Chain A
Amino acid sequence: MTGAHILIECLKREGVEVIFGYPGGQVLPIFDALYDADIKFILPRHEQGGVHAADGYARATGKPGVCIATSGPGATNLVTGIANAYMDSIPLIAITGQVKTYLIGNDAFQEADVTGITRPITKHNYLVKDVKDLSRIIREAFYIASTGRPGPVLIDIPSDVQMQDTQFIWPETVDIKGYKPTLFGHPGQIKKCTKLIAAAKRPLIYAGGGVITSGACEELKQLAEKINAPVTTTLMGLGSFAETHRLSLRMLGMHGSAYANHAIMEADLIIAIGARFDDRVTGRLDAFAPHAKVLHIDVDPSSISKNVEVDIPIVGDAKNILGQLLEEIKKAPDTSEWLKTIEAWKKKYPFTYKDGEKIKPQYVIEQIRELTKGEAIITTEVGQNQMWAAQWYTYTQPRTFISSGGLGTMGFGFPAAIGAKLGCPGKIVFDIAGDGSIQMNIQELATCVCNKINVKVAILNNGYLGMVRQWQELFYKKRYAHTCISGPDFVKLAESYGAAGIRATKKEEVRPALEKALAIENMVLIDFHIEPEENVYPMVPAGEAINRMMGLA
């Protein structure tokens, strides 16, 4: 079997349903093998679109996403997408062609040191120098990408290795000496936790993306209910705990709810689960959660005590550890006073916006929620659109909010929506976009139309790079340096690609536009002309304590 055929055979055995790939000189043997392979293949219009789609597929399904690109520029076009998956711990397999082994290091045509370039943004990477290693490497790559704290793994395959013949051997097991993720929590640490929980008066659960990755949402709910503790989630954790639940404090952080931010500052115990105390969550570190003991559950030991000193760390998989905890906890603390305080904050500081003559972006998202019964998969671009989508949709299920959290990649949401739709064809998939971000990967309209991928894009069009403009308004004396951005006629653009385009410029047009979009069995792009200088509030200025919020009603 040739290297290329071994690759395809391995992908099949790993259960890969769809590959996002772009051809080129150094992946020709792989594409030749794909020609009659029985795997769904999607050709994006840019490699970046392909890698984000694979990422979106992984976030929506929990299975590793797979993308292929050629050497040199094909591979470097994957870099942003790989870094994006790395920051958000998304299982992703990136396969790149490389120049022939004997040309490596020669500055050959379309050569780039791709393992070198991607070393700091992959969980691990491989350059395959011998076809005999290929099946083992692919097996290891899938194992590394999808276990422990997941992440992207890149496999760089020179084109001569793709053509070499060898006997195909499928490694039944994987054994990597230096990689043994901890799965269960240390029983001693669990015992200590239960004591701390029993003694707490103002406990708060702070849940991150790790809860979703680990599939621990049910256990999280049970824990919260058992100990009567409120739950706030990070941006990545949205959907891990139903925002309609009485104990939900929704998202915390820079644009989080005021009540979540107040709660974390007043809590006497923080139970962090699969979250990493990112600067967008903690605000000024030395002012963060001054009264709280911190209990941190995470599969990645290096996340513990990285930013915030942790009192009790438990390393392991969140689902297992929460299961262990639930068994051990006998006594629930009395949190009734605490929940009363929180209720008062909720009443005093709800998310709000002022209705006006023009379309308000928050209103658009509320309408999307109503029409999709809160059951759609929402992907976002990055900036104001992302924060509004996080604040206004109300998430109740895991894997329904798909957004570039750590890296903050504009242009992510649309291709991610394509991947999500392919992974979950039965779901309505909406990309909530800005007019800036959508232009970063707009070419994927062609991918949608050609493959009949029915995703909806709602552009919150304010004519600005809105979040940067907001910062300029608030912190740079309204000096709007290069943030006023013009776009094409999005309706005509959509139509020229063969998609449907709808424009809404008045509030009363919002709902009909959405209804019409949902009725069309095709890719639809809706251009909402929103209030141009609407801001995202509440907001904690960078470097401030997390309870110092601007824009509270």
Chain B
Amino acid sequence: MKHTISVLVENKFGVLARIAGLFSARGYNIASLAVSQTLDPGVSYMTIVVEVKDEQVLEQIKKQLNKLIDVLTVTDFTKREHVERELVLVKVNYCAKDKEKLQKLLVRFAGKLIRHEKDTAIIEAVGEEKQIKELLESLGKFGVKELVRTGKLAITQ
């Protein structure tokens, strides 16, 4: 099962390696990881989606993260009111006659056509996991050439 946790860390040399090393050394799976600075430039915010088989492993992950000296706080979003978003950039096949169909689809998913050139269009979309999944399924019929996503970002209510 997937769980989203956030980790506030001191923005110090090697901190990402510490977190990544902890996960690999203990055999935990990271489904996605997003890192950036916060309002305080000395502190970074990580949103980590972990895949665990039971609650006990999730508890261990949180405790082990908390043990790292550079970790300030660990927040588990599993039972908390929060907002989750992910951004995707998708390169799809494009031809002029499909334009209307594509536009309609993008309106439905609040996606944006950022640019198109000859036979390729680049689409941007922001949404929850479910929306992104549905969008990607719908785009499948146009033919997806390439895809990048930020991984999940989450913030508490």
Which A residues are closer than 8 A to B by beta carbons?
115-116, 119-120, 123-124, 127, 129, 144, 176-179, 300-302, 304-306, 309
Q: Which residues of B contact A179 (CB under 8 A)?
A: 69
Over the window 22-49 of chain B, the binary record of Cβ atoms lying under 8 Å from chain A Cβ atoms (1 yes, 0 no) is 1001000000000000000000000000
Provided the pairs A119-B14, A119-B18, A177-B10 are in contact, do residues A301 and B68 lie with their beta carbons within 8 angstroms?
no
Interface centre among A115, A176, A179, A309 (most CB of B within 10 A): A179
Do B63 and A178 touch across chains, with their CB atoms under 8 A apart?
no
Please, how many angstroms separate the alpha-carbon atoms of A70 and B64 in the complex?
Answer: 31
Q: Is B21 an interface residue (CB 8 A)?
A: yes
Complex contact B67–A300 (CB within 8 A): yes
Contact A177 B25 (CB under 8 A): no
Known: A177-B72, A301-B63. 13 other contacts (CB 8 A): A116-B14, A119-B14, A119-B21, A127-B13, A129-B13, A177-B10, A178-B9, A178-B68, A178-B71, A301-B67, A302-B63, A306-B60, A309-B56
Q: Which of A123, A176, A178, A301 gathers the greatest number of chain B CB atoms within 10 Å?
A: A178
SS class, residues of chain B in contact with chain A: helix
Verify if B17 is at the interface (C-beta below 8 Å from A): yes
Known: A120-B25, A302-B63, A302-B64. A178 touches B14 (CB 8 A): no
Q: Is the CB of A305 within 8 A of B21?
A: no
Chain B residues with CB under 8 Å of A302's CB are: 60, 63-64, 66-67
Q: Which residues of A contact B72 (CB under 8 A)?
A: 177-178
- Do B56 and A305 have beta carbons less than 8 Å apart? yes
Which residue from chain A places its CB closest to the CB of B22 in the assembled complex? A120
Q: Tell me if B56 and A115 are in contact (CB < 8 A).
A: no
Residues of chain A within 8 A (CB-CB) of B60 are: 302, 306
How far apart are the CA atoms of A507 and B67 in the complex, in Å? 51
A144 touches B64 (CB 8 A): no
Contact in complex: A301, B66 (CB < 8 Å): yes
Whole-angstrom CA separation of A400 from B67 in the bound complex:
30
Q: What residues of chain B lie closer than 8 Å to A123, measured between beta carbons? A: 69
Name the contact of B69 in the complex, choosing from A124, A127, A304, A309 (C-beta under 8 A).
Answer: A124
Q: Identify the closest chain A residue to B67 (Cβ).
A: A302
Distance in Å: Cβ of B64 to nearest Cβ of chain A = 5
The reply to whether B14 and A115 contact each other, CB–CB distance below 8 Å, is yes
Residues on A with C-beta less than 8 A from B63 are: 301-302, 304
Q: Check B64–A178 contact: CB distance below 8 A.
A: no
Q: How many angstroms between the C-alpha atoms of A399 and B13 in the bound complex? A: 37
Q: Once the chains are docked, how many angstroms separate the CA of A302 from the CA of B72? A: 16
On B, residues with C-beta under 8 Å from A are: 9-10, 13-14, 17-18, 21-22, 25, 56, 59-60, 63-64, 66-72
Given the known A-B contacts A119-B18, A305-B56, are A178 and B25 also in contact in the complex, defined by CB atoms under 8 Å? no
Name the residue on A nearest B9 (C-beta): A178
Distance of A127 Cα from B18 Cα, bound (Å): 14
Q: How far is the CA of A441 from the CA of B70 in the complex (A)?
A: 36
Partner of A144, one of B13, B17, B69: B69
Q: How far is the CA of A127 from the CA of B68 in the complex (A)?
A: 16
Which residues of the other chain, B, contact A304 by a CB distance below 8 angstroms? 63
Cα A179 to Cα B72 in complex, Å, equals 8
Find chain B residues with CB under 8 A from A119 CB: 14, 17-18, 21
User: Are A120's CB and B21's CB within 8 A?
Assistant: yes
Chain B nearest CB from A96 CB (Å) reads: 15
Q: How far is the CB of A526 from chain B (nearest CB, A)?
A: 41
Bound complex: CA of A225 vs CA of B70, how far in Å? Answer: 42
CB distance from A553 to the nearest CB of B (A): 40
A156–chain B nearest beta-carbon distance, Å = 11
Closest B residue to A306 by beta carbon equals B60
CB A56 to nearest CB in B, in angstroms, measures 26
CA distance A173 to B37 in the complex (A): 28
A124 to B22, CA, bound (A): 12
Instruction: Please state if B17 and A305 are interface contacts (CB–CB under 8 Å).
Output: no
Give A177 to B70 CA distance when docked, in angstroms.
8
| CB neighbours of B18 from chain A (8 A) | 119
Cβ-defined contact, B21 with A178, below 8 A:
no
Closest residue of chain A to B8 (Cβ to Cβ) is A178
- Bound: A123/B22 CA distance, A: 12
* Cα distance A92–B82 in the bound complex, in angstroms: 42
- Most chain B CB within 10 A, of A120, A129, A302, A305, is at A302
* Distance from B8 Cβ to chain A, minimum over Cβ atoms (Å): 9
| Bound: A300/B68 CA distance, A | 12
Q: List, in ascending order, chain A residues with CB within 8 A of B10's CB.
A: 177-178
10 contacts between A and B (CB under 8 A): A116-B14, A119-B14, A119-B18, A120-B21, A176-B69, A178-B10, A179-B69, A300-B67, A301-B63, A302-B63
A543 to B109, CA, bound (A): 54
Nearest B residue to A303, CB-CB: B63
| Bound-complex Cα distance A300 to B25 (A) | 18
Separation of A127 and B13 alpha carbons in the complex (Å) = 8
- In whole angstroms, how far apart are the Cα atoms of A309 and B59 in the complex? 12
Whole-angstrom CA separation of A167 from B72 in the bound complex:
30
Q: Is the CB of A305 within 8 A of B70?
A: no
* Nearest B-chain residue to A148, judged by Cβ: B67
